[in-house]
Chain A
Amino acid sequence: MSANGYEAALSRITSVRGVRGAMVVAGADGLVVAEQLMEGIKGAAVAALAASLATRLGRAMEAGGVGTGVFWHLQAERGALLVVPARSGMLVVAVAEPGVNAGLARLELLRAAESVA
């Protein structure tokens, strides 16, 4: 996929009200492939942790018999992290404010994951 393709996919995610940034991360090593983040968000570190979290949660889910995750939502006091894995092994990640429409953000993440697959 071209850089422009990633940018377009991420733009759709960041256009959802309450989304502070989005990125595409290589799931295996946690490296940033593309990002559109608000200033102050450490993309590389977030990518590494999101990939690690996704891996660990994925193992727990597989052990529990529910299969590999298709959408993860970390809820915190002042915001949220939303993750959708693409078929290629990449992760599409969004950082959001607490009041984000998680359903809409999820749809855009799934759409982006299809396009980066």
Chain B
Amino acid sequence: MADDIKQLSAQLAQDPHSLVFLRLGELLRQKRQLEVAQRVATNGLERHPHLADAHDLLARIQADRHDYEHAFDEWDMTLRIAPGHTGALKGLAFLYFKVGDLTQAESHLREAKKYDPEDPAVDQAIAMVRGGAPAAEPSPPTAPVPLSPEVSEPLPEERIFAGLEGAHEGLLLVDASGQVLGGALRSADGQDATQAVAAYLAGVSQEAGRTAKLLHLGGWMGLSAEGPQGNVHLTAPTSDALLLVVRDRSVPMGRLAVIAQRAALIARRWLERQA
């Protein structure tokens, strides 16, 4: 494998526009040289931004690095370019499985099966999602489908946002009275700020609602704020819950709102399951 990597690297150096970066990136990923693999994939994508396989490669690398949020984006992009891309369908199924959304996971696997009915990993993964399969082997490196038995168990509270970036330090779900339902927040110096922030959030929500009502603006949908050390976005996944997303200033407000929407969807589903 090492020789292959050298050979492919040489080929890519000679012809930077070559599609050989796909094989090189995959080999590096399999060798767990994930940082280099990501660099190769990113450089390749800069030259071939509409190549579905390049987005899929980057997504697999990001998934291996547990950067599930960006992996989701890349697989989503893959499907926009190539709607029947089985790698992306299996990848998204894996991510949905990770966050406990078994319906979406199975739906994506069924879609993958339509395009690749002979793939045994898809059948195995569908059985796994349904909870009827025996303990399975670890997921193959080229197709990260949901085969890990431990994640099929119901999500405990602290894992509501499992799989989302910042799940344990930048996402917080509280009820209407400010009681923590899930997630956690850490301040820039690493201190646990979960309870302190939760205590203030209920008041913020109440004032946001009153202000919007007074101005005849209808229901409030979100409250974004910029701070010197970070940005925050507050939203209400349900009428009696609040979700706060905190990120450093490198994450633009628009992207933060997208992250919040995604987390709110997961929170809403989780809350529905608890009802």
Give A residues with C-beta under 8 Å from B.
41-42, 45-46, 49-50, 52-53, 56-57, 59-61, 63-81, 95
Contacts and interface: CB of A to CB of B under 8 A. Distances in A.
A72 to B, nearest CB: 5
Contact of A65 (B186, B214, B219, B222): B186
Nearest to B186: A65
Given A66-B232, A81-B211, A76 B218 contact: yes
Contacts of A78: 216-218
24 contacts: A46-B215, A49-B210, A49-B214, A56-B204, A57-B204, A60-B232, A63-B197, A63-B200, A64-B185, A64-B196, A64-B246, A65-B187, A66-B246, A67-B228, A69-B227, A71-B225, A73-B225, A74-B220, A76-B217, A76-B220, A77-B218, A77-B221, A78-B218, A80-B217
Interface in B196-237: 196-197, 199-201, 203-204, 207-208, 210-212, 214-232, 234
A50 B208 CA distance: 8
B207 A70 contact: no
Contacts of B215: 41, 46, 76, 79, 81, 95
Residue with the greatest number of chain B CB neighbours at <10 A, chosen from A45, A61, A71, A80: A61
Given A57-B234, A66-B188, 9 more contacts: A46-B211, A53-B208, A66-B230, A74-B223, A75-B220, A76-B218, A77-B218, A77-B219, A95-B215
B217 A79 contact: yes
A103 to B, nearest CB: 9
Residue with the greatest number of chain B CB neighbours at <10 A, chosen from A63, A71, A73, A79: A63
Q: Is the interface of A mostly helix, strand, loop or mixed?
A: mixed
A26 B148 CA distance: 57
Contacts, number: 125
Contacts of B230: 64-67
B81 interface: no
Interface of B: 185-189, 191, 193, 196-197, 199-201, 203-204, 207-208, 210-212, 214-232, 234, 244, 246, 253
Contact of B226 (A41, A42, A64, A70): A70
Contacts of A67: 227-230
Nearest to A69: B225
B193 A63 contact: yes
A56 B197 CA distance: 10
B214 A75 contact: no
B217 A60 contact: no
Given A53-B207, A66-B229, A71-B225, A60 B219 contact: no
Contacts of B199: 63
Nearest to A20: B215
B256 to A, nearest CB: 11
A78 B214 CA distance: 12
A67 B226 CA distance: 9
Contact of A75 (B207, B216, B221): B221
